[in-house]
Every structure is written in structure tokens, then in C-alpha cells.
Amino acid sequence: MDFMYGWFMDPLTSGEYPKSMRLLVGARLPKFTAEQARLLKGSYDFIGLNYYTSLYATDAPQLRNAKPSYVTDSLVNPAFERDGKPIGIKVASDWLYVYPRGIEDLLLYTKEKYNNPLIYITENGINEYDDPTLSVEESLMDIFRIDYHYRHLFYLRCAIRNCVNVRGYYIWSLFDNFEWSSGYTARFGMTFVDYKNDLKRYEKLSALWFKDFLKEETRLYAE
């Protein structure tokens, strides 16, 4: 966590990098001056968290002899599987395994370690690969996306009930978009964009569900 999350959070809250990073990275890790530390500490209005998935982590002492790099410095092996069992269902992207409980774990961790800062979930979403064999009507039936957000909202509510200071939740994404190295082949949107027909837009089933969810008091039940 220190190498993926504390790397950003610790300077903002304490004015220095995590102790584990300072010990393991040593002289290769830049040091803040006293003035830089003063300016950094508390220099945020809110914390924006992007959550998609979670990883297992196992001790990797053998990496002490590896070439120093960001990948090896933490002496940890990250993995999506443990004992041959994946942490969740894998979707289109290789890095996205569905693990809704992780959003609650991350929020509770943030509350305890960083004195419960104001938080907005700035990204949370799931994708499918573009399938040119499907009709537009078929492409709108994204029940899996409704399930994904329903479960994440359930655990988000659990965190809020445990006094985590979360004030907003933003879905990734409103529209299908150009997605990094995947380009237009990965669709994260709740709105289907027809790339072959003048970029016409159609609400997917998840968009209709989310509109109803926001209008009404929707009950969220455990898995």
C-alpha cells in the first residue's frame, strides 16, 4: 500500500514519503526540504480516489538481489490470484478483476491511517471489449455493469456508515471513450457511442438503472 497509495498520501498528510519507502529505496528516493514538507502537508481540499480492483500481495525477499526499480523496491509480489483462485471475476481488461469489498477496505484504511480526510470516489467502473458482431440494441444490455456498481455502492455505503468522510461517487464513465492503449476497443461507458454512425449516443441499461437509483431510495442488500 505504501508504494501504490502512501507514495502520494503520506507527503500530503505528513510532509514525507512513507517510512517503508525511505528504508527500502534509500538514497534513490528524493527528500523534501523543510519548506517543501511544510507546503505539502495538508495541501489538499479533498482526496480523489479511483477504485477499480484489488490485488493480493505476498512477501518477495528474493527481490533484494534484483535490479533496483519501482517494480522490485517494495519486495512484494502483487497478484490477482491466490492458491489458484482469482480475487474476483475477470472482465475485458487484464488488470480488472471485480472485487467490490475492496472499495470499503480502501476507505476504512484511509480513514484510520490518514485521519479521515474528505473523499470523493472520482472513478469506479467496468468495461467490455467492443464487439462488432452485436447490434446496437444488444450492446445496450449491460446487466453486468449494473451489478458492478450496485455491489460497489453497497460497500461504499458500509464505509459511510462507519464514518468514512465520503461525499461523492463518480462512475467511469458516462460515455464510451478513447481508453489509453485500448483506444476505442474498450467500452467503459453507461452510454453507447456508435463510432460507425456519426457518434450517435444511446443510453445503456445501466444508465437507465442509475437514473432510477438517483431518483429513488434504492435498497442495497449484501451479497
Q: Which three cell numbers stand for residue 155?
A: 460497500
Query: What is the rounded distance in angstroms from the CA atom of residue 57 to the CA atom of residue 99?
Result: 15
- DSSP letter assigned to residue 177: -
Q: Where are the alpha helices (DSSP H) in the chain?
A: 7-14, 19-25, 34-40, 70-73, 101-113, 136-139, 143-161, 205-215
In the three-class reduction of DSSP (H, G, I as helix; E, B as strand; rest coil), residue 123 is classed as strand
Residues 6+ apart with CB under 8 A from 85: none
Of 16, 81, 112, 123, the active-site residue reads 123
Query: Is residue 138 among the annotated active site residues?
Result: no
Query: What is the rounded distance in angstroms from the CA atom of residue 117 to the CA atom of residue 70?
Result: 27
Query: What is the rounded distance in angstroms from the CA atom of residue 81 to the CA atom of residue 98?
Result: 12
Q: Which helix (H) or strand (E) holds 85?
A: strand 85-86
The catalytic residues are: 123
